[in-house]
């Protein structure tokens, strides 16, 4: 089934799970789309089986808390996650026996970006300590560090050759992973008309677009090669300055974001037109939203987790 305007308009919540007592911070799918994992302010990590459509296990990080969480490259049994309590060390956790494999100390303030390489065992992290660090799962030592001169959000490109950093909510810097210590090879300045902080940055899967999420009422997609603004999307509720996560669909043709009133807004990246507003009946703001990389389903979460399916026969 191809993702089209009409298919997206037909999406409905298939299942809602109330496993969490506080807001869900992050959700991630593994690369084959068969598993999902969430982190929450209640210190829990919930594993979901996407084929069965149900939660299968809950782990806890009561001492450290759990904020951003990512499956490691090609492995549905291990994750890395950042903390929102005791310290700013990143932790590498085995889900099978609930044991830490390794710690990655170095950041001195909250980690606000975490991106796994799509091709190997490296990952990058951005922090309020104004640094971006490069790590390898096999070593606790930081493999490289760059000071982009501002608060950074960052992400790998789909080929794992470069990474982009959104710095101080005004400029995107592109770094070559083989020589990032030399500084960025390109920089694009892009300012929003309204005052807002950039809270996330993602590449489309085809590598041609960069999506900027904010804590205001607007998100933006840029041309990944020259930094020109392709579209700025607004018209969704975010009056409280919440970090609402936006995402691309896997075909790079649509962008989605949740809102503080529990609805999901969908735009075409080609035309820039809003093509759907979907009511998830969420009790609070949709903090996190991810489309499954392989299957026709997506997840949205406030303190409840909703899994959506298309109802094409309607």
The per-residue pLDDT for 239 is 84
Residue 314 has pLDDT above 70, yes or no: no
- Give which of 161, 158, 127, 152 is closest to 142, Cα–Cα: 127
pTM of the model: 0.94
pLDDT band at 243 (very low <50, low <70, confident <90, very high): confident
Domain that holds residue 31: 5-310
Task: Identify the CATH number of the domain in which residue 98 sits.
Answer: 2.130.10.10
Each residue of 171-221: pLDDT tens digit? 999 999 999 889 999 999 998 877 889 999 999 999 999 999 999 889 999
The per-residue pLDDT for 86 is 77
Tokens of 50: 């996407």
Task: Please state the domain count of the chain.
Answer: 1
The per-residue pLDDT for 186 is 96
Residue 312 has pLDDT above 80, yes or no: no
The per-residue pLDDT for 20 is 87
Mean pLDDT of 255-262: 94
Each residue of 70-126: pLDDT tens digit? 999 988 999 999 998 878 999 999 999 999 999 999 999 999 999 999 999 999 999
Residue 54 has pLDDT above 90, yes or no: yes
Tokens 């959506």 -> residue: 308
| Nearest-angstrom CA–CA distance, 246 and 280 | 15
**Mean model confidence pLDDT for the chain:** 94
Q: In the chain, pLDDT over 90 holds for what percent of residues?
A: 86
| Nearest-angstrom CA–CA distance, 133 and 2 | 38
Each residue of 122-177: pLDDT tens digit? 999 999 999 999 999 999 999 999 998 889 999 999 999 999 999 999 999 999 99
56 Cβ contact list (under 8 Å, min separation 6)? 47, 48, 49
């Amino acid at each position: 089934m191809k993702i089209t305007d009409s298919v997206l308009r037909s999406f409905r919540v298939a299942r809602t799970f109330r496993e969490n007592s506080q807001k869900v911070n992050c959700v991630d799918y593994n690369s084959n789309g068969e598993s999902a994992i969430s982190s929450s302010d209640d210190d829990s990590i919930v594993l979901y089986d996407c084929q069965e459509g149900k939660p299968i296990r809950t782990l806890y990080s009561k001492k450290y808390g759990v904020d951003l969480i990512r499956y490691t490259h090609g492995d549905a049994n291990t994750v890395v996650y950042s903390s929102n309590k005791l310290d700013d060390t990143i932790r590498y956790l085995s889900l099978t026996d609930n044991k830490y494999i390794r710690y990655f100390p170095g950041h001195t303030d909250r980690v606000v970006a975490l991106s796994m390489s799509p091709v190997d065992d490296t990952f990058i992290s951005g922090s309020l300590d104004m640094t971006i660090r490069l790590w390898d799962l096999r070593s606790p030592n930081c493999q490289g560090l760059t000071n982009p001169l501002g608060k950074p959000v960052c992400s790998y490109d789909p080929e794992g050759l470069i990474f982009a950093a959104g710095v101080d909510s005004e400029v995107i810097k592109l770094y070559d992973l083989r020589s990032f210590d030399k500084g960025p090879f390109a920089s694009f300045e892009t300012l929003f008309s309204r005052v807002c902080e950039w809270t996330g940055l993602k590449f489309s899967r085809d590598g041609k677009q960069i999506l900027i999420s904010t804590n205001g009422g607007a998100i933006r997609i840029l041309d990944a090669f020259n930094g020109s603004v392709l579209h700025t999307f607004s018209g969704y509720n975010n009056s409280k300055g919440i970090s609402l996560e936006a995402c691309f669909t896997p075909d790079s043709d649509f962008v989605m974001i949740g809102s503080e009133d529990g609805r999901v807004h969908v735009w075409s990246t080609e035309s820039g037109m809003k093509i759907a507003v979907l009511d998830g009946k969420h009790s609070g703001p949709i903090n996190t939203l991810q489309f499954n990389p392989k299957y026709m389903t997506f997840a949205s979460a406030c303190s409840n987790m909703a899994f959506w399916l298309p109802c094409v026969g309607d």
